[in-house]
Amino acid sequence: METKVDLKNLSLEELEQFLAGKGKQRYRARQIFKWMYQKDATDFEVMTNLAKDLRQELEQTTVISSLSPELTEVSRDGTRKYLFRLADGNTVESVLIPEEDRSTLCVSSQVGCAMGCEFCLTGTFRLTRSLTTAEIVNQICAVMREVPFRNIVFMGMGEPLANLDNVIRALKIITHDDGLQFSTRRVTVSTAGLVPEMERLGREVTVNLAVSLNATTDEVRNRIMPINRRYPLRELIDACRRFPLPGRRKITIEYVMIKGVNDSLEDAKRLVKLLSGIPSKINLIPFNEHEGCSFRSPDQQAVDQVHSFLLAKHFTVITRSSRGADISAACGQLKGKLERSGGV
């Protein structure tokens, strides 16, 4: 029996080609795209502007997949954590972070992660597989049914640039006028530092880039982020310098502060030198302690000292407050909790 094609795995251009290969008019692709992404349709019968014979043919040869949360936790601060079970039984997480004027959805791109960053809970699951395009966009569609939000960040489980084909296809769907219609200014892709993939991302789509830096020397970064042994700081910083930025946009530098590892004033001084000449803003993220990791959260005094120093050097700096602490909101915590209880 021939496997049905999941239309949510196709960009608009690919859907046009798919229909053309069946002898159908290419404009039908835009109609189907709007039904899937702007009306959340999963049933061809509701697509009343399509001819009946086309709807019947699509029903026989294709499918429009969907996800619904298996588990949702809601924090006292409004943060919502979603656990999605995929068709093969694997699970991934998404987190909705509420703000007064611009709630943000954090989505996953892989089941587990191969990067092995020492401070990251997701890395302890190792990589099972990358998500399909449909599995990425369906996280977004599922949350949109419940809560409105304006921003999307690829900062959930997995390294987005290690799943670049599917992530780029998802980004095209997310930002297309006939798709989910998100502004490219409101979509951010985070990376641990895959240099060649950064360059391809910048060539093929326009989105915001966030780089998980977390250290100012190769010695420390080698220890906490093994990817640095392949693409050391100099190569990573050069890639940031080359990344194409539309007018007035900045690269977000994510810096997880770990007590006694990378939270000193000397680290802050080196960070200023590294980022010289790169339009950037800095997110300071105090390490979120979790079971099985020996790292500790930095003292508030250290966080304040680094924050003040970077501000004095004219950087835009945000110290990210911990959100959803009462609901396993850090990446991997909900999945880990269910695994320990035998529920996943």
Kindly list the catalytic residues: 93, 331
Cα separation, 184 vs 209, whole angstroms? 11
Task: Give CA–CA dist 23/8, Å, rounded.
Answer: 20
CA-CA-CA-CA dihedral for 285, 288, 292, 298, to nearest 10: 70
Pairing of strands 208-212, 251-257: parallel
The residues with which 190 forms a beta bridge, in sequence order, are 210
Q: CB burial class (10 A; 0-12, 13-18, 19+) of residue 118?
A: middle
3-state secondary structure 157-195: CCCHHHHHHHHHHHHHHHHCCCCCCCCHHHEEEEECCCH
- What are the beta bridge partners of residue 211? 191, 253
User: Residue 255: helix, strand or coil by DSSP?
Assistant: strand
**Alpha carbon distance 104, 95 (integer Å):** 8
Mapping DSSP onto H, E and C, the string for 8-36 reads HHCCHHHHHHHHHHCCCCCHHHHHHHHHH
Structure tokens at 265: 């004033």
DSSP 8-state code for residue 229: G
